[in-house]
Structure 1
Amino acid sequence: MASRSSGPGRTRVGRYELGRTLGEGTFAKVKFARNVDTGENVAIKILDKEKVLKNKMIGQIKREISTMKLIRHPNVIRLHEVMASKTKIYIVLEFVTGGELFDKIASKGRLKEDEARKYFQQLINAVDYCHSRGVFHRDLKPENLLLDANGVLKVSDFGLSALPQQFREDGLLHTTCGTPNYVAPEVINNKGYDGARADLWSCGVILFVLMAGYLPFEESNLMALYKKIFKADFTCPPWFSTSAKKLIKRILDPNPLTRITIAEILENEWFKKGYRPPSFEQEDVSLDDVDAIFNEAGNSQNLVVERQEERSATPVTMNAFELISTSQGLNLGSLFEKQMGLVKRETRFTSKRPAKEIITKIEEAATPLGFDVKKNNYKLKLQGEKTGRKGHLSIATEIFEVAPSLHMVEVRKSGGDTLEFHKFYKNLSAGLKDIVWSSGDQAKEGANEGSGIVQS
């Protein structure tokens, strides 16, 4: 595949051309990127050196990234290479196109037991393999379970989700992290926990959600939620088989010392049905790039430069590769189909209006909703003034040119609560009715209804 020359407003890091933002967290941002030499699509996790390394965690982070690079497993996202500039660390990861596993539940409802078991087996394979190499996830949740184009489960962010890692002299982890609904009681308790046992609890919650279509522990009040988790106060729905119920109860045991282990799960009759152990070959992997960027002698020849191509006065043009990357698998149809009611952490709509008009309309719609708006060319950052369930709601918006007269607008939650984002988006879209374009024969009616909104 021939590589495309960098368009205006593009950023190059080494041999990679950076594209749209796929997600962001406290310490890191993940961007879609293309290797301009090979045309391969990748995801690049960009860490802020100052934020992450100021606690003298270089040695620990180097070990974590080295271990991740050595992990070659069919159910774990691959870490290709590591680069650094003076201010940032770039972790180049495998990019998968099948979307999140939980998108299947959002669109089709709960999975049949056999299908749920197939994904659970792949999840346990990944978790077991990483644990055997001393790597714990600590934040297993729906967003970290991806599917490749063939529907194979890939766990992302293994060992990278909670950098820097903090073990104390007791050999236990002491950082409370993760999404409350998926977190083990001992993690919330803040008395130190075993990373392997805590990961397994999260796997149990994930299995429950796959088969039930809803969470085992769900409360709008955080303290009420914690109480339920501490007591493992949940009920399996009647459609779960007896053996599945038994296994889930053994995984969701609030006492980590009596909780079932992965070794015991691998011998469980329900788990073993149709089980295929993973087959893969170990490859020779070089850690030269990791050593080079963490060489504290700070050899500047090992550093890459983030080079900004000349900025244009128009939005960044989205090429075909990126367009495909926004879609589930390679089905471009889902990009422009009407899918109301499925707004998650990220959503998109298309518009035939000029980019400047779109920016103005979003600003006009967001300000009365209590959001502070910051503009940077064709990107907007919206910061909620009120504190919500998980702090201030913050939204990132970017406009891409798909064709000369067609723009795609991406609206993404970058902080705060997903349900609050859902509510915000419903209110925002009411103010954007006249700029949204819908494909197909009903373009006009769709625009008037504010459809053409696509869930990611």
Structure 2
Amino acid sequence: MEEIEASQYRIPKGVQGKAGCVGTVVEGECIATGEPVAIKEVDLQSKRYQKVFQNELYAMEKLAGSDKLVDIHSAFVRGDHGYIVMEKLDNDLLHFVLDKGRLEEPQAKEIFYKVLQAVKYMHDNSFSHRDIKPENILIEMNDKECTVKLCDFGTAKEFTKKEFVTGVCGTVLYCAPEVKMRIPYDPRKADVYSLGVLLHVMLTGLFPFEAQYTEKPKPDDVPDAVIVYDMLSKEAASLIELMLRPSPKARISLQEILKHSWLKKHHKAAKVKLRDHIPHSLSTLRQKLNKQ
């Protein structure tokens, strides 16, 4: 296997990694410590991908420090490819759910609560994620605890409290109706809708509209959500129903989700731990790319 060295990391070349919408993630290694890392590679020849890469650097620079988001070690450009070096966790939520078929409510509750804390941290810092889905949630289990972290901030959006945003982004099966309608929308409420689809998938192994079509839908063809009630407790179904309301005004807020009975009686409010380390390379590289 041919390897190239860039910065402080060894990146395997010619190895098939986990493909995302914009880049490919492979397992690399910190040369100094031998620690395994996840390295996202993005082809910067595409103007669209370059914009997403720069946006991810900007978002992570602004949001760096939370233990609820994946830790970014470094970022650099080599040739016509950009690289983001991240901590490596054992699994993502998609494969975790696929392996089990669906999650029992106590386990789903623990994981979902931690996802909510990550999204809340972003919203509290004036960012929406806009692509919440199981593939973008990393998970690692051991005997003592379950570590859950949100990742992939290429479509994250900075906003003001009263600002509505525009632009279709994210993954169609998790997109809120107002996003697909291409009208100005509250990005926080759009994230809530995606969280509703996520929770339904975690608890049932199905999308909340899966029974209505047999082929992958086009963006404008995804129907309104239909919840699989017979696989859910009344409290879980109630929460999902509130999150998947088509009207953003009628849709529950993130703060209200955290107070919902399905979650409230099992969890006390947890403080987000902050890290002191903010990768200097993110700011430096982003400024360099902006000058090109």
Indicate the TM-score class for this superposition, using the shorter chain for normalisation.
0.7 to 0.9
Q: Could you tell me which of 184, 192, 195 is aligned with 1:192?
A: 184
Structure 2: which amino acid aligns with 1:205?
V
Q: Give the AA of the match of 1:153.
A: V
If the length of structure 2 is used for normalisation, what is the TM-score?
0.83
Instruction: Give the direction of change, closer, same or farther, for the CA distance of 1:59–1:152 in structure 2 (3 Å limit).
Output: closer
Structure-to-structure mapping, 1:22-421, within 5 angstroms: 22-25=17-20, 27-52=22-47, 62-68=57-63, 70-73=64-67, 75-97=68-90, 99-150=91-142, 151-157=146-152, 159-160=153-154, 162=155, 171-218=163-210, 219-221=213-215, 222=217, 226=221, 228-229=223-224, 232=225, 234-296=226-288
Structure 2 unaligned spans of 5+? none
What is the identity, as a one-letter code, of the residue corresponding to 1:145? I
Contact 2:38 2:85 in 1 (8 A): yes
Mapping 1:10-25, distance limit 5 Å: 10-19=3-12, 20-25=15-20
Residues 136-161 of structure 1: CA deviation (Å, up to 9, x unaligned):
2211112112211433222221x22x
Instruction: State the Cα distance separating 1:288 from its structure 2 match.
Output: 2.9
Unmatched tracts of structure 1, length 5 or more: 1-7, 300-456
Code of the residue aligned with 2:66 in structure 1: it is R
Q: Give the deviation of 1:282 after TM superposition.
A: 2.2
> Aligned partner of 1:197: which letter?
K
Contact 1:147 1:153 in 2 (8 A): yes
Give the aligned residue type for 1:110.
R
| Shift, 1:86, TM fit | 4.6
**Which deviations, in whole Å up to 9, do the C-alpha atoms of 1:315-358 show, x marking residues without a partner?**
xxxxxxxxxxxxxxxxxxxxxxxxxxxxxxxxxxxxxxxxxxxx
SS at match of 2:130: coil
In terms of Rg, which structure is larger? 1
**Partner amino acid for 2:40?**
K
Segments of 4+ in structure 1 off by > 6 A?
53-59
C-alpha separation between the residues in 2 aligned to 1:298 and 1:224? 32
- Distance in structure 1 (CA, Å) of the matches to 2:222 and 2:4: 48
Which whole-Å deviations, capped at 9, do the CAs of 1:370-407 have from their partners, x for residues lacking one?
Answer: xxxxxxxxxxxxxxxxxxxxxxxxxxxxxxxxxxxxxx
Secondary structure of the residue aligned to 1:12 is: strand
The amino acid across from 1:65 in the alignment is M
Contact 1:128–1:262 at 8 Å: present in 2 too?
yes
CA distance in 1, matches of 2:270, 2:135: 23
The one-letter code of the counterpart of 2:89 is V
Q: Provide the alpha-carbon RMSD of the alignment.
A: 3.1
Change (3 A) 1:94 1:21: farther
Question: Aligned-pair distance for 1:249?
Answer: 0.9
Query: For residue 418 of structure 1, what is the aligned residue in structure 2?
Result: none
* Contact kept in structure 2, 1:212 and 1:237, CA below 8 Å: no
Q: Say which SS state the counterpart of residue 75 (structure 2) adopts.
A: strand
Change (3 A) 1:41 1:256: same
CA shift for structure 1 position 34: 0.1
Q: Distance in 1 between matches of 2:136 and 2:290?
A: 33
Larger displacement relative to structure 2 (277-286 or 138-147): 277-286
In structure 2, relative to structure 1, the CA distance for the partners of 1:103 and 1:294 (3 Å cut) is: closer
Residue-by-residue CA offset, 1:110-160 (whole Å, 9 max, x unaligned): 222222211111111111111111222211112112211433222221x22
Contact kept? 2:58, 2:283, Cα under 8 Å: no
SS at match of 1:47: strand
Aligned residues of 2:93 and 2:138 also touching (Cα < 8 A)? yes
Say if 1:57 and 1:220 are closer, same or farther in 2 by CA, change over 3 A: closer
Partner SS for 1:215: coil
